[in-house]
């Protein structure tokens, strides 16, 4: 069934995607790359070891979607550290981890784009995407990041049961984003369930 991952021999997963689904997933992954940004690229001729240990930003992102993707280590995604010591610890943690986290999120989104670009459509039947276990993990990460970013834009909270989203009229400008959010959730859930032992 389209949109549901199935297990394949060797521990990977497969899913049938039609042309529209491929285009939507690719577009969203590209937007995620743009949102996450290029990060701090090493300067030509710079010592690779120095680059590896370079410090990242110490302040949380101003964009709410980025703040959700890169939350403070102390306090949680919706809770700002309330004392000076917690803010200092969060800044220190961010300085040494955010660059690596950004790189991983970029790599996950690029893995999605590359996998989709390698597909060959077969008429109206769509294309079969086959993922190795490692590729499946990257897809889980990218699908999660996409849902977090879209959910933040839709102002979805942990307490929401999604009922309000299901009841949006078709005329609501948020409807396409809601449909993408719900669809990505179904894809992510089926991929996780497929990979569970």
Q: Is residue 37 part of a domain?
A: yes
Q: pLDDT digits over 149-163, tens only?
A: 999 999 887 666 667
Percent of the chain with pLDDT over 70: 82
pLDDT classification of 1: cutoffs 50, 70, 90:
very low
Both structure tokens of 117: 């670009």
Residue 120 confidence (pLDDT) above 90:
yes
Residues 133, 195: Cα–Cα separation, whole Å: 8
Q: Is residue 1 part of a domain?
A: no
Residue 65: partners with Cβ closer than 8 Å, 6 or more residues away: 35, 148, 149, 152, 153
The stretch 42-63 carries a mean pLDDT of 66
Residue 19: partners with Cβ closer than 8 Å, 6 or more residues away: 121, 126
Strands 127-131 and 6-7: unpaired
- Please state the φ and ψ torsions of residue 100, each to the nearest 5 degrees: -65, -40
Q: Is residue 58 part of a domain?
A: yes
Domain of residue 94 covers 6-195
Count: domains in the chain: 1
């Amino acid at each position: 069934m389209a949109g549901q991952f199935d297990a394949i021999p060797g521990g990977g997963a497969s899913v049938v995607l039609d042309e529209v689904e491929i285009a939507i997933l690719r577009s969203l992954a590209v937007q995620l790359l743009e949102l996450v940004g290029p990060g701090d690229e090493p300067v030509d001729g710079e010592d690779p070891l120095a680059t590896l240990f370079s410090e990242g930003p110490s302040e949380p992102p101003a964009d709410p979607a980025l703040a959700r993707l890169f939350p403070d280590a102390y306090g949680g995604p919706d809770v700002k550290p309330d004392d000076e010591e917690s803010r200092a610890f969060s800044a220190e943690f961010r300085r040494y981890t955010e660059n690596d986290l950004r790189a991983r999120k970029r790599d996950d989104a690029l893995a999605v784009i590359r996998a989709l670009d390698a597909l060959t459509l077969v008429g109206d039947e769509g294309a079969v995407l086959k993922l190795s276990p490692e590729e499946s993990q990257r897809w889980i990460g990218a699908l999660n990041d996409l849902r977090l970013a879209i959910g933040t834009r839709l102002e979805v909270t942990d307490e929401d049961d999604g009922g309000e989203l299901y009841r949006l009229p078709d005329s609501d400008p948020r409807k396409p984003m809601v449909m993408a959010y719900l669809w990505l959730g179904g894809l992510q859930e089926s991929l996780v369930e497929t990979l569970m032992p």
